[in-house]
Amino acid sequence: MLLVVNLRHLAKHNLVLQGELPARELDIDTHDEVIRVTQPLRVDAEVQKLAKSLLLRGELRLALDCLCVRCLKPFQHRLAIEDWTCHVPLDGEEAARVVNDCVDLTPYVREDILLALPQHPLCDPKCHGLKQPDIGKAKKSGTGLVGKDPSAWAELDKLQL
Ligand SMILES: [Zn+2]
């Protein structure tokens, strides 16, 4: 499928976008070696024409090929954006390009996927990564909190999003 909608059709009724967008069409360059997009994007959305914009609502799902930033293990991260909404302006400076009454929604979907990519992919939120010699020493100090530090950082990372 392609994420192209015809405005004349939309004037009459809402359109449903349902299917898979090939990775080459989504064309996401993560600029990052730990995340690769090779699987198709699953789209299940409804497009509604408002007075000066298009409203997209639905779900986006994409399996990402990731490398854990802690232990370097390859794993698949299933990205799911539920309750996805997106406004595509048809008026003003930011207006979408209309060609033969059609609007390509791919750039807007690409933008939202980029924003939703994990900042630091982890194979498991509790991944302790590669064994480091200094962890053994720290444990001997008896605080008992050392092992929890990595997940504490993960929580902080989430907040920074
Ligand atoms: Zn890991």
Q: How far is CA 47 from CA 34, 55, 86, in A?
A: 33, 6, 9
CB count, 10 Å around CB of 53?
A: 18
Distance 68 CA to ligand 1 centre (A): 5
CA distance 144 to 135: 12
pLDDT digits (tens, 9 = 90+) for 97-120: 999 999 999 999 999 999 999 989
**According to the model, what pLDDT value does residue 130 have?**
80
**According to the model, what pLDDT value does residue 33 have?**
85
Looking at per-residue pLDDT, the higher value among 144 and 87 belongs to: 87
Looking at per-residue pLDDT, the higher value among 146 and 37 belongs to: 37
Distance 70 CA to ligand 1 centre (A): 5
Looking at per-residue pLDDT, the higher value among 77 and 157 belongs to: 77
With beta carbons less than 8 A apart as the criterion, state whether 27 and 37 touch.
no
CA distance 64 to 30: 11
Distance 100 CA to ligand 1 centre (A): 48
Distance 143 CA to ligand 1 centre (A): 24
pLDDT digits (tens, 9 = 90+) for 136-145: 555 554 444 4
**According to the model, what pLDDT value does residue 141 have?**
47
pLDDT digits (tens, 9 = 90+) for 13-71: 999 999 999 999 999 988 778 999 999 999 999 999 999 999 999 999 999 999 999 99
**According to the model, what pLDDT value does residue 32 have?**
79
